Amino acid sequence: MAPPQRCILAPARKCTQFLPEGKLQLMSEMQQILEAIQNHASSDEIVGLKLPESYRAAVVRKDEVDMWEGYASEDKDPRKSLHIDEVPLPEIAPDEAVIAVMASSINFNTVWTSIFEPLSTFLFLERLGRESVWGKRHDLPYHIVGSDASGVILRTGSAVRNWKPGDRVTIHCNYVDDQDPKAHDDSMLADNQRIWGFETNFGGLAELAVVKANQLMPKPAHLTWEEAAVNALCNSTSYRMIVSPHAAGMKQGDAVLVWGATGGIGGYAIQYVLNGGGIPVGVVSSENKAQLLREMGCEYVINRKEKGYKFWKDEHTQDESEWRRLGKDIRELIGRDVDIVFEHPGRQTFGASVFVAARGGTIVTCAATSGYMIEYDNRHLWMKLKRIVASHFANYKEAWAANQLIAEGKIQPMLSKVFTLEETGEAAYQIHKNMHEGKLGVLCLAPTEGLGIDDPEFRAKVGEDKITLARKYA
């Protein structure tokens, strides 16, 4: 079927569109927005569009926070707690923008929100609600989740200088109040630093989103909406952990053990180690993931399932001989110990991670998926002068640098599968159950996959196979 003709933009709530058969069809405001985006409408044309009063969004509901009482973590099902609801569009603050979200992605924080662990994210929204008049908007009986997005700016607040309606953007999730003095060295150290769509409302798994201007970054022009949407959170996190002097600050020749090496953050970590002249040792749990890892250029691969490591004898006792077995396996692969351990599984692996790091080595941690009450043998830490470095997301400068590397084709998106907004619960379920590789994308306003490429020549130069590698293994 031929594409529908362009709609005449009108400030009314609905406008008409001529279908190829000559029939008239009413278009909703959201359809007009989508049409304008697909036609590369000018900034003035975008401003001329009326925004809808409400939009569809993936939410958890406050009256359901107790729904998982008595369930084990693994039995809590995001498909039951994540809903697609129609929500009102809030007024924006002077330093904010309204985004038409073309695509978003699932991060593990949406899993945490959907199973209300380790605590309900409504507590974060209540705290933000007490902070200011604008903060009060976030304290609602529903939480719009999602900490990634690619899309188009529809409106900017009066204090926004560097961006305008019509700009194509990706969104990073560091939500910082620039009036906090502590935010002016490393914004991750600001007292009220938050993660957008996790500790704030109006997140990215929705047709529209509200973000601060200092979350905006240019969309890599050679990527589709869904490829552009999956990177900001995980890519920036791994950039800070591996590259930035705020965390491990990897040097050329450093050997780096990466847990979950084809997962969300692990897949980007491997690329940073390779790009920076390091030697990655990737740990995964299936042959399919091992193959993906090899194709990404990681020569040294450990299949933890095949090896059957049991770092814990029982709930209370770790098994040092299993730590030694992992250390031996690493030495057999690369002939020495690793300088850096990229740690995030937490309780299950942390003791082993501290043990296998080389004398003077660094364990850089950003998470604790398998449990946050960590145990390790401190003798192995202090006697061998190792250090544990905490890392959390990335400041704007780091997120920008990580986005730039994507835009330059030096880091590839880890997108493996794409879901619709209605399937958000299913996508979160697959991450909760570790059924996925890389990143799972979600189409929000984008009607199909494959749209949004503005620079096909550069895409061809980077290479379709490289950009879409993770999809081969989905």
Chain positions contacting ligand NAP, by CB under 6 A: 107-109, 233-234, 237, 259-260, 262-266, 283-285, 289, 304, 344-345, 348-349, 366-367, 369-370, 392-393, 431, 434
Q: Indicate the residue among 27 and 364 with the shorter CB distance to ligand NAP.
A: 364
Check residue 116 and give left, alpha or beta (phi > 0: left; psi -120 to 50: alpha): left
Give me the least distance between CB of 41 and ligand NAP, in Å please. 34
Residue type, 15: C
Least separation in angstroms between CB 350 and ligand NAP: 10
User: Nearest approach, Cβ of 32 to ligand NAP (angstroms)?
Assistant: 35
d(CA 437, CA 79): 19
Minimum CB distance to ligand NAP, residue 35 (Å): 34
What is the nearest approach in angstroms of ligand NAP to the Cβ of residue 102?
21
Give 46 or 394: the residue with its C-beta nearer to ligand NAP: 394
Residue 346 corresponds to which tokens in the numbers above?
């937490």
Which residue number, 139 or 226, has a Cβ lying nearer to ligand NAP?
226
Q: Are 440 and 107 in contact (CB under 8 A)?
A: no
> Measured from the CB of residue 310, what is the shortest distance to ligand NAP in angstroms?
11
Q: What is the closest distance, in whole angstroms, from the C-beta atom of residue 323 to ligand NAP in the complex?
A: 13
Cis peptide before 218 (omega within 30 of 0): no
Closest contact distance (angstroms) between CB of 153 and ligand NAP is: 25
Question: Of 263, 123, 234, 245, which Cα lies nearest the Cα of 170?
Answer: 234
- Look-up of token digits 């946050």: 372
Residue with Cβ nearer ligand NAP (160 or 232): 232
Minimal distance, residue 284 CB to ligand NAP, in Å: 4
- The alpha-helical segments, DSSP class H, found in 130-257 are 133-136, 225-229, 232-242
Where do we find the tokens 């059957």? 308
Residue type, 170: T
Nearer to ligand NAP, 27 or 418 (CB): 418
Question: From the CB of 15, what's the least distance to ligand NAP, in Å?
Answer: 41
Between 114 and 285, CB nearer to ligand NAP: 285
Indicate the helix (H) or strand (E) that contains 350.
Answer: helix 350-356
Nearer to ligand NAP, 122 or 259 (CB): 259
Classify 40 in phi/psi space as left (phi over 0), alpha (psi -120 to 50) or beta. Answer: left
Query: Which of 72, 385 has the CB closer to ligand NAP?
Result: 72
CA distance linking residue 52 with residue 89, whole number of Å:
7
Looking at 39-152, list the stretches that DSSP marks H as alpha helix, in order from N- to C-terminal side.
43-48, 78-81, 108-114, 122-129, 133-136
CA–CA separation, 127 vs 249, rounded Å? Answer: 34
Q: Distance of CA 29 to CAs 18, 50, 156, Å?
A: 16, 7, 18
Kindly list the distances between the CA atom of residue 267 and the CA atoms of 133, 300, 368, in Å, as whole numbers in the listed order.
40, 14, 17
Residues whose CB is less than 8 angstroms from the CB of residue 373 and which lie 6 or more positions away in sequence, other chains included? 347
CA pair distance 35, 161, nearest whole angstrom = 26
